[in-house]
Structure 1
């Protein structure tokens, strides 16, 4: 079952659901994540994809979770076309299970800020932030939407990590009542959410994004809108990292040349790019010519 995001609406409510198991596994592989980091990064990337689904094509969104816990910093970039990339500052965090017998993502995140940046083509990106409330990611993004964007929502995110540290199931959903939602609709929604099983349980049973929406919205007549393929994809390239090297000061470039080579690693995907001594000398000449 490939990763997909499905959009649906009913009277007064829009619902998006995503299955992200494959792309989360790609992130785990690239960053060598231990279970707590795998769950935190997978939830953040899934959340970013759900939030980005409201953007227009060619726009983008970044979710940053920066806490005082051992994970330190979790970042995910997503676009409405269905591509996401992400990284966690400390992928090798090991913590005991929490008091519910689950991975202690909240303990790994700690206290701090959730920041969401929307790149909409304007000169300055739109940025908002709110305090981390639990560190479990879904509750923090729900709180962010309510506090910073005045958008009541319910977000569910999950990553079921297997014994080999891979993701057995990953995905999530977002429910947003619209201004025309009546009290009966809100009440039925709340009843459904109280009975709802974990999203990873549904995915582990083989349910796809469409079937997850049908279970969440039991009793509602849904209109399904679009289905988007999802994937982990980074925009890095050797040419883009050349720009990073061009912005180093002269002494730092001379030091790299003295070493005879340089290896630059992309934070988001872990891809490594090698620069020979000759390439570094050429870049230094270009940099000096501009200055």
Structure 2
């Protein structure tokens, strides 16, 4: 696994920066969901953005991002945690639109410009923290930026990008998140803004062989940074036959009996990773007993 995320403080600790190479993670999602180019870019950007937000959490804390616009891909759902383990789902994976006016994959056209971006954080409390903002762009980087500023009140800049090969495979995927810390000087903020404006797409830089450390160097004038942590990131789904069994039990005795009578078994398919789990008649009989005892 070559994917990784680096966290750093820069500009005399006035700025926090995250840079991620998520090429293999997005490639795995593309293979599992058989996404077409524009849908791949949309799902990949959503996964990169969610993983960047997840990097602000502690180990087992979890974050779920739901992006529901009015475009043809439908909704996108991504889960991540503080360990860099991310899984993603896109409602309609077979979307490929003509390139936009800049000659790039038309993620805005695929996601849409009307809808909501919802973030739910499970921090081990009784209730999750939930923040919601309208989709303002559909390109997703700007939408994550808007969420951070308006829902979490953290002035930020989020950049996410995915390059797709002609055969639909992923060439490169990555991004960054820059956060302005309390007390940052206006001149520092202006400097960062000017650098971001001229920065090539992260995926293009990675395609050309640049590492997250080298991209960090582009973001920080005079290499004035201190890397705090380097972590791996990966496509990881926590589904299991046992978890789906619990869901079947929750359907109740009558529903399980109808599965036995009509289908003589059951198959469960995970939305996130497409793994299939088979349940025989005898499996269902055991689950029916458990349902009856609840």
Q: CA deviation at 1:75?
A: 0.9
Match of 1:86 among 85, 88, 91: 88
1:125 and 1:274 mapped to 2: Cα distance?
A: 32
Is 1:193 aligned with 2:209?
A: no
State the match for 2:136 in structure 1.
Answer: 133
1:118 and 1:160 mapped to 2: Cα distance?
A: 29
State the match for 2:179 in structure 1.
Answer: 176
1:188 and 1:105 mapped to 2: Cα distance?
A: 28
2:181 and 2:223 mapped to 1: Cα distance?
A: 15
SS at match of 1:66: strand
After superposition, give the CA deviation of every residue in 1:131-156 in whole Å (9 maximum; x if it has no partner).
00111111101011111111110010
State the match for 1:144 in structure 2.
Answer: 147
Corresponding residue pairs, total: 290
Q: CA deviation at 1:255?
A: 2.1
State the match for 2:61 in structure 1.
Answer: 59
Match of 2:209 among 182, 206, 211: 206
Q: CA deviation at 1:252?
A: 2.4
Match of 1:106 among 105, 108, 115: 108
For structure 1, the residue ranges without an aligned partner over 5 or more in a row are none
Aligned 1:241-280 pairs, distance under 5 A = 241-258=244-261, 259-280=263-284
For structure 2, the residue ranges without an aligned partner over 5 or more in a row are none
SS at match of 1:165: coil
Structure-2-length-normalised TM-score: 0.96
SS at match of 1:247: helix
After superposition, give the CA deviation of every residue in 1:191-239 in whole Å (9 maximum; x if it has no partner).
1112111111111011111111111223351111110011110010000
Match of 2:46 among 39, 44, 47: 44
Structure-1-length-normalised TM-score: 0.97
1:133 and 1:29 mapped to 2: Cα distance?
A: 29
Q: CA deviation at 1:32?
A: 0.6
SS at match of 2:293: helix
Instruction: Tell me if structure 1 keeps the 8 A contact 2:19–2:216.
Output: yes
SS at match of 2:210: coil
1:145 and 1:81 mapped to 2: Cα distance?
A: 20
1:220 and 1:192 mapped to 2: Cα distance?
A: 13
Match of 1:286 among 257, 278, 290: 290
Instruction: Tell me if structure 1 keeps the 8 A contact 2:252–2:288.
Output: no
Q: CA deviation at 1:180?
A: 1.5
After superposition, give the CA deviation of every residue in 1:241-287 in whole Å (9 maximum; x if it has no partner).
00110111433212211211111001111111000111011111210
Q: CA RMSD in A?
A: 1.1
Is 1:5 aligned with 2:24?
A: no
Stretches (4+) displaced over 3 A: none
